[in-house]
Amino acid sequence: MKIRTKIMLGFLILALMLAVAGAFSIYELRAVGSSVQALLDDNYRSITAAKSMTEALEREDSGMLLLLSGKWKEGRETLRTADKKFIEALETAANNLTIKGEKACVEKISKAYKEYSMLWDQPIVNTPREGNLGWYFKDAHQSFKNVKAAVQELMALNDQAMYETASDLKNRAHRAVMPGVIAILSALVFTILFNYFVNIYIVNPILLLIKSIDNFLNKGEPISVKMDSDDELADLAASVTSLTAMVKTSEDKS
Amino acid sequence: MRPQLIIRNIGFVLLFNAVFLFFSAAVSAVNGDSALVPLLYSAVVTALIGAFPVVFVPSVENIHNDEGLAIVVGGWLLSSLIGALPYIMWGDPFTLTNAWFESVSGFTTTGSSILTDIEALPLGLLLWRSTTHWIGGIGIIVFMLAVTPTSGQVAMILYKNEISSLAVENFRYRTRKIFQILLIVYVGLTALETICLIFAGMGVFDAITHAFATIATGGFSPRNSSIAYFNSPLIEGIIIVFMILSGIHFALIFLGITENIKKIWKSVIVRYYLAALAIGSILVSINIWGGMYENFREALRYGVFQVVSLGTSTGFATADTSIWPGFSKLILIFFSLQCACAGSTSGGIKIDRVLVLWKRIISHFSKLKHPKAVVAIKLDRTVIDASVVEAGLLYIVIYLCVVFISSLILAFMGVDIMSAFSGSVAAMGNVGPGFGAVGSFSNFGMLPATGKWVLSIVMLLGRLEIFGLLLFLFNRLIR
């Protein structure tokens, strides 16, 4: 192989090593970006929906207590707005089923909420239920707690998924950084290796050739440099040997 | 010494490793797992660094013995280093120390792991982990020589430095033929075991990785509970047969298949090897019967598997031997020290040397009785040269010294004595599991980082049969 090709190969390898490291880092960083987006889209949206449902539920519980205390208008108004908010949040959660077990969780909330809303949908004011705290604690509050437990389950499920995604993000960030680190270390090793080979196969033969020429010029010693490689330097050594042999012959003749 | 020639040959070793890294990366890509980038980048870097000296440095027809030694030791060290790259890049739980330990353990076919949850690893990385066993089992250099065109003289010097000195004595073929025999037997046994395991109900991936680990007498399993995961006497039976076969001199297996199967049985070494395994299995089975297992069949099933697993330096597990009685543990420690035959993929002192020691003791008694008698030491009707006997005995002494020193260092670091001693025995013999905290169902993850480095050096000393690594490290001093 010729010197030109060898040197070019050395630089090509160095460039390739760095380019591939860069490409892999970009690939992993893009994956990190996607993971962050997925974290926001998939888990954070569901957690926000679960929080809204909990808030709406608390409001509905207040509305129920207002009805029990005979305040029909305030109670119904509170229930109506809270119900709207809960349904909206539930729909958001139902349209964002991204993790295993989430569908079952949303169905459980839906079923529990249907049972709960049936309790406050029926007339309360001016009925035997008005002021009946026994009914409230036995049926209404129990049903409220069931819905709340199901919503908290959804939140815990998404919290767990969020934690796992965050751990995965940490690993992906590590994988994005590592090609760069390894590329730097490899490039260092490679540079030392390259430098060593350049010395052994290019610089040293040139020095040897120079020394031989000096010896020829000063002491008249014949040039006979043996090259290990089959490249331009070997051709140069052969040419110099021929040249000096010719010079020697012509000197001898004259 | 010509460093450029050493670098050129190590370049071939790196290229060879890169091929397997690319293969693991391909599996990772097909599976779509998270090990793709670590494996692919490691493969690219290894291929580029390996290819450069191969292209730049012109080939030569001859190398010196010390250059051969440097190529072999350098090849093992660099293979272990690049083997650790995918682990380091993949991340938790692989710190630099853990990745190096896992890689050395893989290449030296030790099979000790730092992993608590092996099944959490992506498929591509698990394949690479088993592949390190398979490459290291036959010997990186032998593998490389078998597939690359190398001059006979260069190959012979590398081969002599790579393989057990006793196995070199036992071979009577030309170098190229030796490589062919080794490769045919090695690949043949691996393929045969894979097929048998698939027929026994194992999945293809599990079958391939377990076959890699069995034939290399490694012990890495992609399952947390090793072979116990399958709870199948048929699978255990198949693995026992192949572990035993992998512990026999490969040239004998080749002769047995191509010429006459009786040739295997005619070998004194093989007869002793099989008899020792049989006696050990029976003793352990009787010892664990009643106390550990209610019926003898159960005791025999687990007893035989564990004795063969440690007695061949494989290290697979079907039972937690850490809770077995002291007698069984001692028997298992004896097998972890002795291991199987020279010329196989097994580690340890090796049966050939144990027999030489035994015959030397007998000859010593004969000499005491008849001082003027000339007593020759014979193995398989061949007179063993006095220098080979001396080297064998010296090896056993140094081997035990290394185990003792390693145990001492680990004990100094606060590791309990059973874990320190059995862990050192397991590392030196390239067996894998020890007892106590480093038992068959435990791992080496809890050891201090320095302890892991010590054990990884011990693994390399065991794999390179002590003298190789010591001579490489203290070359100038010894001169």
Chain B residues within 8 A of A183 when measuring between CB atoms:
45
- The amino acid at residue B313 is S
pLDDT of B151 higher than 60? no
Nearest-CB residue to B52 (from A10, A20, A179) = A10
pLDDT at residue B150 in the model: 57
Quick check: B109 and B347 in contact, CB under 8 A? Answer: yes
pLDDT cut 90: percent of chain B above it: 57
Task: Measure in Å the smallest separation between the Cα of B40 and chain A Cα atoms.
Answer: 9
> Which of A141-150, A160-169, A182-191, B351-360 bottoms out in mean pLDDT, i.e. has the lowest?
A160-169
Task: Measure in Å the smallest separation between the Cα of A236 and chain B Cα atoms.
Answer: 18
* Token pair for A14: 């160095």
Overall average pLDDT of the B422-431 stretch? 94
Interface test with B, best of A178, A192, A203 (most B CBs within 10 A): A178
* Separation between Cα atoms, residue B192 and residue A64, nearest integer Å: 74
pLDDT at residue B158 in the model: 61
> Which of A99-103, A218-222, B188-192 bottoms out in mean pLDDT, i.e. has the lowest?
A218-222
Is B49 near chain A, with CB under 8 Å? yes
Helices (H) and strands (E) in chain A, counts: 8, 0
Query: Mean pLDDT over all residues of chain A?
Result: 85
Chain B residues within 8 A of A192 when measuring between CB atoms:
none
pLDDT of B154 higher than 70? no
Overall average pLDDT of the A249-254 stretch? 78
pLDDT of A103 higher than 80? yes
Nearest-CB residue to B56 (from A28, A186, A197) = A197
pLDDT band at B99 (very low <50, low <70, confident <90, very high): very high
Around B271, how many Cα atoms within 13 Å sit in the side-chain half-sphere? 8
pLDDT at residue B160 in the model: 62
Residue count of chain A: 254
Q: Let me know if A198 is exposed, middle or buried by CB neighbors in 10 A (0-12, 13-18, 19+).
A: middle
pLDDT band at A202 (very low <50, low <70, confident <90, very high): confident
The 3 state secondary structure assigned to B354-411 is: HHHHHHHHHHHHHHHHCCCCCCCCEECCEECCHHHHHHHHHHHHHHHHHHHHHHHHHH
- The amino acid at residue B149 is P
Is B358 near chain A, with CB under 8 Å? no
Chain A residues within 8 A of B48 when measuring between CB atoms:
13, 16-17, 186, 190
Chain B residues within 8 A of A24 when measuring between CB atoms:
37, 40-41
Q: Where are the alpha helices (DSSP H) in B91-151?
A: 96-107, 123-138, 140-147
Neighbours of B394 (CB within 10 A): 12
Give residues with Cβ within 8 angstroms of B322, minimum separation 6.
B435, B436, B439, B440, B441, B442
pLDDT of B164 higher than 80? no
Greatest mean pLDDT range, A4-8, A245-249, B7-11: B7-11
* Of A64, A92, A88, residue with least CA distance to A76: A64
Task: Measure in Å the smallest separation between the Cα of B7 and chain A Cα atoms.
Answer: 9
pLDDT at residue B155 in the model: 62
pLDDT band at B419 (very low <50, low <70, confident <90, very high): very high
> Which of B182-191, B254-263, B435-444 bottoms out in mean pLDDT, i.e. has the lowest?
B254-263
Question: Where do the DSSP E strands lie in A104-216?
Answer: none
User: In which element (H, E) is residue A54 found?
Assistant: helix A45-68
Interface test with B, best of A5, A35, A174, A181 (most B CBs within 10 A): A174
pLDDT at residue B478 in the model: 59
pLDDT of A17 higher than 90? no
pLDDT band at A165 (very low <50, low <70, confident <90, very high): confident
Give residues with Cβ within 8 angstroms of A181, minimum separation 6.
none
Is B58 near chain A, with CB under 8 Å? yes
Interface test with B, best of A30, A197, A204, A229 (most B CBs within 10 A): A197
Backbone φ/ψ region at B148: left (φ over 0), alpha (ψ -120 to 50), beta: beta
pLDDT of B281 higher than 90? yes
* Of B425, B451, B455, residue with least CA distance to B315: B425
Neighbours of A121 (CB within 10 A): 11
* Of A72, A66, A106, residue with least CA distance to A86: A106
pLDDT of B476 higher than 80? no
Nearest-CB residue to B91 (from A174, A182, A229) = A174
* Separation between Cα atoms, residue B202 and residue B448, nearest integer Å: 36
Chain B residues within 8 A of A28 when measuring between CB atoms:
37
Q: In this structure, what are the phi and psi dihedrals at residue B162, rounded to the nearest 5 degrees?
A: -85, -45
Gyration radius of chain B over CA positions: 21
Quick check: B69 and B165 in contact, CB under 8 A? Answer: no
Quick check: B419 and B452 in contact, CB under 8 A? Answer: no
Chain A residues within 8 A of B90 when measuring between CB atoms:
171, 175
Task: Measure in Å the smallest separation between the Cα of A39 and chain B Cα atoms.
Answer: 18
Is B54 near chain A, with CB under 8 Å? no
Q: Cβ–Cβ of A189/B92 closer than 8 Å?
A: no
Q: Cβ–Cβ of B37/A179 closer than 8 Å?
A: yes
Chain A residues within 8 A of B92 when measuring between CB atoms:
170-171, 174
How is A93-130 classified by DSSP, letter by letter? Answer: HHT---STTHHHHHHHHHHHHHHHHHHHHS--TTSTTT
Nearest-CB residue to A13 (from B7, B40, B52) = B52
Quick check: B245 and B256 in contact, CB under 8 A? Answer: no
Q: Cβ–Cβ of B45/A174 closer than 8 Å?
A: no
Gyration radius of chain A over CA positions: 41
Nearest-CB residue to A190 (from B3, B49, B85) = B49
* Of A92, A86, A67, A69, residue with least CA distance to A77: A67
pLDDT at residue A95 in the model: 87
Residue scoring higher pLDDT (A189 or B192): B192
Task: Measure in Å the smallest separation between the Cα of A203 and chain B Cα atoms.
Answer: 14
pLDDT at residue B168 in the model: 55
Chain A residues within 8 A of B88 when measuring between CB atoms:
178, 182
Give the helix, strand, coil percentages of chain A, each rounded to 5: 85, 0, 15
Residue scoring higher pLDDT (A201 or B100): B100
Task: Measure in Å the smallest separation between the Cα of B411 and chain A Cα atoms.
Answer: 34
Nearest residue in chain B measured CA to CA from A227 = B58
* Separation between Cα atoms, residue A145 and residue B67, nearest integer Å: 79
pLDDT at residue B377 in the model: 84
- The amino acid at residue B132 is T
Overall average pLDDT of the B11-20 stretch? 92
Residue count of chain B: 479
Angle at B147 between CA B78 and CA B160, to 5 degrees: 65
Angle at B117 between CA B111 and CA B119, to 5 degrees: 85
Chain A residues within 8 A of B37 when measuring between CB atoms:
24, 27-28, 175, 179
Neighbours of B282 (CB within 10 A): 14
pLDDT at residue B11 in the model: 92
Q: Cβ–Cβ of A182/B85 closer than 8 Å?
A: yes
Q: Which of residues 63-122 of B touch A (CB under 8 A)?
A: 85, 88-92
Nearest residue in chain B measured CA to CA from A177 = B89
Greatest mean pLDDT range, A31-40, A201-210, B52-61, B274-283: B274-283
Residue scoring higher pLDDT (B286 or B183): B286
> Which of A67-81, A219-233, B141-155, B378-392 bottoms out in mean pLDDT, i.e. has the lowest?
B141-155
* Token pair for B388: 């080979």
Nearest-CB residue to A171 (from B55, B56, B92) = B92
Residue A203 DSSP symbol: I
Partnered with residue B379 across adjacent β-strands are B382
Q: Cβ–Cβ of B34/A16 closer than 8 Å?
A: no
Around A200, how many Cα atoms within 13 Å sit in the side-chain half-sphere? 18
pLDDT at residue B162 in the model: 63
Task: Measure in Å the smallest separation between the Cα of B91 and chain A Cα atoms.
Answer: 6
pLDDT at residue B176 in the model: 67
Chain A residues within 8 A of B85 when measuring between CB atoms:
182
Q: Cβ–Cβ of B52/A193 closer than 8 Å?
A: yes
Overall average pLDDT of the A87-109 stretch? 89
* Separation between Cα atoms, residue B452 and residue B432, nearest integer Å: 13
Residue A222 DSSP symbol: P
* Of B272, B296, B266, residue with least CA distance to B284: B296
pLDDT of B258 higher than 90? no
Residue scoring higher pLDDT (A37 or B335): B335
Interface test with B, best of A2, A181, A186, A188 (most B CBs within 10 A): A186
* Separation between Cα atoms, residue B473 and residue B113, nearest integer Å: 26
Is B38 near chain A, with CB under 8 Å? yes
Q: Cβ–Cβ of B55/A175 closer than 8 Å?
A: no
> Which of B69-73, B116-120, B330-334, B355-359 bottoms out in mean pLDDT, i.e. has the lowest?
B69-73
Residues of A with CB under 8 A from a CB of B: 1, 6, 9-10, 13, 16-17, 20-21, 24, 27-28, 170-172, 174-175, 178-179, 182-183, 186, 189-190, 193-194, 196-197, 200-201, 228-230
Task: Measure in Å the smallest separation between the Cα of B151 and chain A Cα atoms.
Answer: 18
pLDDT at residue B358 in the model: 92
